[in-house]
Structure 1
């Protein structure tokens, strides 16, 4: 199962005991993926309307029907007449409009609303590859409402138009973690945090390895250039013409062509610091440049 599927599985099991929060979550499910069908009364059956949820996730559909039963005592096989359907729309809001602000005025109800919205139209990428969570809205006003609900918890999201959808999305790992906390998905939150830590550790190790590799390459290149300059001086200038400190430096570098500056300094008596070694090697390179002119 995908990470997104795991999140929905956890959220589908979460049942808030407060009825007003149950209504807010149901309103999100009905508003974003509710399905309304007309029953013609074939074979003597009752004519009216049926309710359902347009989703491929069975857990989401079960959650929706459970909320319908708990909040308005509507069974899965119940046929509603037009008055009952309009009464439900009055309570939950028309599916053509954003959810009534009165249903989500409390912080706890906005949590439930966002949980229902994610179950209905939310998705999330695999955190090991990228941080991305989104809600695909068919109505721009509903996208704005979702963004505002998310912002009320001090979480920033953005909206883009993708084909026929107004997509509310988050791309920051910290924001996604906070949203999972708001929706009350602690297990998924901890799994995501563990993945983030592992990903950041790997990134830090890779950066350090790359940095050390770059430093090694830089050191090797510098040492090769120093040896080349010293060899040029030995042939075209003569070590006997060098001041004693530079002559000794040239001899030690030729003897230890791959050694770092600190190790070269330890070959002197008394030992020489890195800055001293670097200064003498630079002087030798400058002499070599003049000798080449």
Structure 2
């Protein structure tokens, strides 16, 4: 997804100088991109990422913050991820790193959600949690009916922790499960913009919001055009039906048509697309819209009554089938 790549490129280039924020981002990234593995009863920390640039950045952060030297490995993506992926592995000092980041508790058990100190931290730390989670497993779709910012989660507990962090940032997010995978989803357009801005992707937030506004304006214009087209189509159908009925009425009545009704009928046929108000202006002397409508109505009623007495089809029979609702 081009939008996802743009957001991640902006976030990769961002470096929060606050130590707690750096810890929060790195911990969330490790948690949402793989986390812990047990190899021969030893704890290994592994992050499987979708870009070489992000993998190298993660490796540098591990060296700078924890003094461990991770292994960088290129791996083939699975059925769901696809493509080439890059693994950052810490095996030798894996258990120490896991304890330091809070991914492993004091009883040597993996933390299923996120360390409590992260989800109850300051606003910059909460933003860093979201930044790390999105870099690890996030995606952003185009603005539109199905627009969404999503993060795939390693567990339902991790999803709920991320939802809680979003709410503390003022972003409406929901946890749901899709094909057995827990996800955190932000759907509201303004909430997506706010989430991007909170993570630090200011350019992506502005670009996404601009695209959303353009689509909303275009959709509004299309609705108006369709509405106008429908109105014009109904008006045209009504005009065709009215003229067909008037022609049939004059045919049924023949010489029995009163002069004022005959004049109204001929006026209708002479100006087939005109409104009743416009017909009134064409009359000599001029008539009101209600006067024209009344005369045409009486003309049709008189013709239908005579047709009923004579046992012949009335004025409705002249209306084309596609014009009848």
Provide the TM-score with structure 2 as the length reference: 0.76
The answer (yes or no) to whether the contact 1:138–1:164 under 8 Å persists in 2 is no
Q: Distance in 2 between matches of 1:122 and 1:272?
A: 69
Give the 3-state SS of the residue equivalent to 1:135 in structure 2: strand
Query: 1:82-106 deviations in whole A, cap 9, x for unaligned?
Result: 6x54332233112632221212421
Task: Tell me what 1:15 maps to.
Answer: 15
CA distance in 2, matches of 1:15, 1:278: 75
* 8 Å CA contact 2:8, 2:135 repeated in 1: yes
Among 62, 82, 88, the residue aligned to 2:97: 88
Gapped runs of 5+ residues in structure 1? 41-47
Query: What is the CA distance between 1:256 and its match in structure 2?
Result: 1.2
Q: Is the 8 A contact 2:24 2:129 kept in 1?
A: yes
The answer to whether the Cα contact below 8 Å between 1:226 and 1:281 also exists between their aligned partners in 2 is no
1:233–1:291 CA contact under 8 A, matched in 2: no
| Counterpart residue number, 1:45 | none
CA contact (8 A) 2:69 2:90 kept: no
* 1:147-205 Cα distance to aligned partner (Å, 9 max, x none): 11112233222222223311111232222112111112111111111211221122112
Partners of 2:159 and 2:184 within 8 A in 1: yes
Which residue in the other structure is 1:248 paired with? 263
Say if 2:4 is the partner of 1:4.
yes
Instruction: Return the alpha-carbon distance in structure 1 between the equivalents of residues 172 and 147 of structure 2.
Output: 14
In structure 1, C-alpha distance between the alignment counterparts of 2:200 and 2:289, rounded to whole Å: 57
- Residue in structure 2 matched with residue 71 of structure 1 by the alignment: 65
1:210-289 maps to which residues of 2 (within 5 A)?
A: 210-238=226-254, 241-242=257-258, 244=260, 246-268=261-283, 277-289=292-304
> Displacement of 1:80 after TM fit?
6.8
Rounded to whole Å, the distance in 1 between the matches of 2:15 and 2:296 is 73
Contact in 1 for aligned 2:253/2:306 (Cα 8 Å) = yes
- Work out the CA distance in 2 between the residues paired with 1:235 and 1:195: 60
> Could you tell me how far 1:126 is from its partner in structure 2?
2.9
Q: Deviations over 1:218-263 (max 9, x none)?
A: 011111111111112211124763462x443322210011233443
CA distance in 2, matches of 1:279, 1:101: 79
CA distance in 1, matches of 2:307, 2:132: 77
Name the SS for the 2:49 alignment partner. coil
RMSD: 3.0
Q: Distance in 2 between matches of 1:21 and 1:272?
A: 79
Q: Name the residue aligned to 1:111.
A: 127
| Superposition deviation, residue 72 in structure 1 | 2.6
Q: Could you say what secondary structure the match of 2:282 adopts? A: coil
Quote the Cα distance in structure 2 between the aligned partners of 1:177 and 1:243: 70
Aligned 8 A contact 1:4 1:126 in 2: no
Q: TM-score, normalised by structure 1?
A: 0.83
Give the CA deviation at 1:144.
0.8
1: CA distance between counterparts of 2:11 and 2:147?
19
CA positional deviation for 1:75: 4.1
Mapped pair 1:31 → 2:31 = yes
Instruction: Measure the CA separation in 1 of the matches of 2:231 and 2:243.
Output: 18
Residue 48 of structure 2: which of 31, 50, 54 is its match?
A: 54
Distance 1:146 1:80, change over 3 A: closer
- Cα deviation, residue 36, structure 1: 6.1
